[in-house]
Structure formats: structure tokens, C-alpha cells
Homo-oligomer: A and B are copies of this chain.
Amino acid sequence: MRWCLRIEYDGYGYVGWQRQKNGSSIQQSIEDAIHKFCGERVSVFGAGRTDAGVHALRQAAHFDLNRDTKAEIVRDALNAHLRSQSISIISAHVVSCKFNARFSATERSYVYKILNRRPPPALDAGRVWHLQKWLDVDSMNKAAQVLVGEHDFTTFRAAMCQAKSPVRTLTALSVARVEDLVTVSARAPSFLHHQIRNFVGTLRLVGEGKWTEIDVKNALLSRDRSKGGETAPPRGLFLVDVVYPTEVSGVA
């Protein structure tokens, strides 16, 4: 039976989603919890391989289990074994054997949070990028529209990105402010490695008045990572949701 999990986590202190030798990963933690629960050693495949320090509200992942058991039991047992960690299994569902958390996804959505004020964060420490200089959110949002659509996003792609093509279709990118909190929201069928964090580092230049919309357009057209803004830190990034066609995912 193939299972799909929805997972919330605080990425602080983890090396990221993916299993690595140098520290604790979300993937490994869940695989260990499954092993403790039912004795089976499985591989858990995530929809998005979030970097170290990146958070998730509803990450999706699949794995195969021999044992026949109830969804609520899987969810509650995994949560019991994950009690000491900042990982929570929001739901567990049996899905079609054709379901693949990574390849079946039709849309991924992310939010990047910036705390835009002089004093440092206390309550949101580790979950925002703290930028002290006032950001012109209207200009950022206008410049963001330059990036929407199908483009070669080489400028916003990490050097270590493993995707075959740098072409992606960005469905939506918007920037909004509520008091001191500036949020950058992004939706696309898929993203390149560091794409959103590189967008945010670039839009910051617009918000601070150093760049215009035209500069963002020229950076995009240059297809040169060195022409884009810096990579924003991981701590402000949240994987919000992953969408699947109901024919493969059922209720997931």
C-alpha cells in the first residue's frame, strides 16, 4: 500500500528535507519513526527537498508499507515517535500506487516572510529574514510580475541545481505587507533550487530603491546567476502546500 503524508515542520536545526551524513534530516526522522512504528525500513519521498532551515506547513511525501493499518493509527503513531522533534504529521492517507509525491504534483506554493523593522525579531526569530531598511512593497510587487510566466530562470538558479532544464513556468508571484511583515508568495508547478530565495534577494534590491523593474527584467534576460540579487536566507521560507490531481491522490 502506498501512503501519502502531509507534514508540518520547523526546519531549524535540520540539514533539510533530504537524508545527509552530516546531521538530522526531516526525511530520516520520518523514516526512523516509521521503522519504530512497524519495523519496516522504507524510503520516504518528498514533494519538495527543502533546504536546511526551510519550514513547511503541508509538505507532502509518499512511502510504501506492507502492514495494513488505519490512517489515524499511522498518523498518531508517527507523531508519538516524533514527539521530541519539531515535525508533525498532519495527515496520512492511502493513495494510488501511481501517486508520486514529487512527480505527480501539479503545483507547489511557498511563502517567504520578511520582518521589516529596525528592532530584531523576538517571537519570529528563525522564521523571518530581518531587513531593517524600509521596503517599498508596491514596487517589489510590480517588479515581481516581470518574473511571472514561462522563462529561462538561470539567473535565479543555484549552481548545484540538478534540474535538466532552467525553464520553468511561474504561475504567480506577489509581495504584500501587513504592518512590519512583508510576505512574498510564489506558486508554480515546480521550482528550481534556490529559485524563491534568489527571487527574494533580488526583489529586496527593488524594495530598497537600488533596482527598478527594468533591472529585474535585464537580470532575468541575462541568464547569469551573478546578475541576480543575493540568495535570501532559508529561515524566512515556508513550503505552504503541494497540489495533486485527485485521480492519483484521492483526498490527499
Asked whether any CB of chain B lies closer than 8 Å to the CB of A86, the reply is yes
Size range of the chain A interface in the assembly? 20 to 34
Q: Is A76 an interface residue when CB atoms closer than 8 A count as contact?
A: yes
Kindly report how many copies of this chain are found in the complex they form together.
Answer: 2
Whether B119 pairs with A75 at a CB distance below 8 angstroms is: yes
A 1-41 to B, binary, CB cutoff 8 A, 1 in contact else 0: 00000001110000000000000000000000000000000
Determine the chain B residues whose CB is within 8 A of the CB of A125 once the complex forms: 10, 86
Q: Is the CB of B55 within 8 A of A119?
A: no
B83 touches A120 (CB 8 A): yes
Q: How far is the CA of A121 from the CA of B122 in the complex (A)?
A: 19
**B-contact bits for A62-105, CB 8 A (1 contact / 0 none):** 00000000001001100100010011111100000000000000
Min C-beta distance of A60 to chain B, whole Å: 15
Considering only CB atoms, which chain B residue lies closest to A127 in the complex? B123
Across the interface, which residues of B come within 8 angstroms of A127, CB to CB?
Answer: 123
A79 touches B120 (CB 8 A): yes
Q: Which of A108-160 contact B (CB under 8 A)?
A: 117-123, 125, 127
A interface, CB within 8 angstroms of B = 8-10, 55, 57, 72, 75-76, 79, 83, 86-91, 117-123, 125, 127
